[in-house]
């Protein structure tokens, strides 16, 4: 078992820590997160949370576009800050992002072919025009698009769903180990979401690519992913396999999140209005649990002490004192609760 990427107690803060601010105005966007992305097993992991939960900061850390303020990030066992430019270039190929907005990722003056040509040129993946063409066509077919109907068109001539699938095909061309999809379907119509998510899932199942699916939509997360981590203001409050976490959420925040999903069933309507959080309190620096203000089960100590990671069972952990009796986790790595090798799909080695 070899590790592709490892976060070791990573914290990322924003804001001035200079002498003038007195270190007072700091936002902790990601707070002490440890996880590993394994190379041999490909799984789909959801990072869930509301805006401001730190899920985007975490994904930028994983993409290498943010450097941890504290803690280490290891790429194939080597400290990320000490990579040679060659290794860094390789890293950039092996982890590929798919962004939220399929409209802004395109230059409207270029045909869609451009986004597919560029990575091949940049990484010198093809030795001839024919090979390039074949690679592009294969990638498009893999995501369920017909090359003849897609190539040679301008972005505005494709639907939002098609545009997003071209983006998936672009990522695919680089034969990545990991695809990081940040809200890939939130701008797309509900009826088209399924096709995009399905093509992402096929990459995982058929090509053995690990997928990190960043979203606030727990319904699609439940449908396509194997594991989930729920973030709240920088902290991973609950993690485990979706089959454990979604039916039996243990952290009060996860419970609130799941209850608030508008279920498409008029016979089962929402209960009473949940309390609003007051963003005025700058509790980003509070000592205890960040959810304490909104938590229906808050205790005195929640405001003063930060809860550790408690292991509910083999496949579920939570950061909440309600589950203290379960015992603190010895291994801080949240991915240790995820599905083990035997349970996930074996990664298929890809030749470059």
Which residues bind to other proteins, rule: CB under 8 A?
50-51, 159-161, 189-195, 197-198, 216-220, 222-223, 246, 256-258, 260-267, 269-270, 273-274, 276, 279
- Closer to other proteins by CB, 149 or 331: give it: 149
- Closer to other proteins by CB, 265 or 325: give it: 265
Left (φ > 0), alpha (ψ -120 to 50) or beta: where does 77 sit? left
CA torsion sign, 136 to 180 to 203 to 194?
negative
Q: How far apart are CA 227 and CA 315, in angstroms?
A: 9
- Nearest approach in angstroms of CB 304 to other proteins is 25
- Nearest approach in angstroms of CB 3 to other proteins is 29
- Closer to other proteins by CB, 262 or 349: give it: 262
- Nearest approach in angstroms of CB 216 to other proteins is 5
According to DSSP H, which parts of 208-295 are helical?
Answer: 218-224, 242-245, 252-260
- Nearest approach in angstroms of CB 246 to other proteins is 6
The single residue listed with the structure tokens 């301008």 is 154
- Closer to other proteins by CB, 26 or 192: give it: 192
- Closer to other proteins by CB, 11 or 219: give it: 219
Q: Name the phi and psi angles at 91, rounded to 5.
A: -60, -45
Q: How far apart are CA 171 and CA 173, in angstroms?
A: 6
- Nearest approach in angstroms of CB 242 to other proteins is 9
Other CB atoms within 10 Å distance of the CB of residue 307: 22
One DSSP character per residue, 180-195 reads EEESTTTTS-HHHHHH
């Amino acid at each position: 078992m070899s590790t592709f990427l490892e976060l070791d107690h990573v914290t990322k803060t924003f804001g001035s820590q200079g002498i003038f601010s007195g270190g007072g105005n700091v936002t902790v966007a990601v707070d002490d997160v440890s996880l590993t992305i394994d190379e041999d097993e490909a799984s789909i992991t959801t990072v869930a949370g509301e805006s401001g939960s730190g899920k985007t900061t975490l994904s930028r850390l994983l993409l290498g576009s943010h450097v941890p303020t504290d803690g280490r990030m290891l790429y194939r066992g080597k400290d990320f800050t000490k990579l040679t430019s060659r290794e860094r270039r390789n890293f950039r190929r092996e982890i590929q992002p798919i962004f939220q907005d399929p409209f802004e990722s395109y230059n409207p003056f270029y045909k869609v072919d451009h986004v597919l040509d560029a990575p091949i040129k940049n990484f010198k993946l093809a030795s001839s025009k024919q090979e390039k063409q074949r690679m592009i066509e294969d990638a498009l077919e893999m995501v369920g698009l017909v090359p003849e109907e897609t190539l040679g068109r301008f972005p505005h001539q494709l639907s939002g769903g098609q545009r997003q699938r071209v983006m998936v095909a672009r990522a695919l061309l680089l034969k990545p180990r990991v695809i990081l999809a940040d809200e890939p379907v939130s701008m797309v119509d509900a009826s088209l979401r399924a096709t995009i998510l399905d093509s992402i899932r096929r990459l995982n199942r058929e090509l053995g690519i690990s997928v990190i699916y960043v979203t606030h939509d727990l319904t699609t997360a439940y449908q396509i992913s194997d594991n989930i981590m729920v973030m709240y203001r920088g902290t991973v409050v609950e993690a485990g396999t979706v089959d454990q976490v979604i039916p039996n959420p243990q952290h009060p925040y996860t419970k609130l999140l799941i209850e608030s999903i508008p279920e498409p069933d008029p016979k089962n309507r929402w209960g009473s209005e949940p309390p609003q959080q007051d963003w005025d309190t700058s509790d980003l620096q509070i000592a205890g649990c960040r959810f304490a203000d909104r938590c229906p089960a808050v205790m005195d100590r929640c405001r003063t002490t930060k809860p550790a990671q408690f292991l509910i069972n083999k496949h579920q952990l939570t950061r909440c004192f309600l589950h203290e009796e379960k015992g603190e986790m010895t291994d801080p790595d949240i991915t240790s609760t995820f599905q083990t090798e035997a349970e996930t799909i074996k990664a298929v080695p890809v030749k470059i």
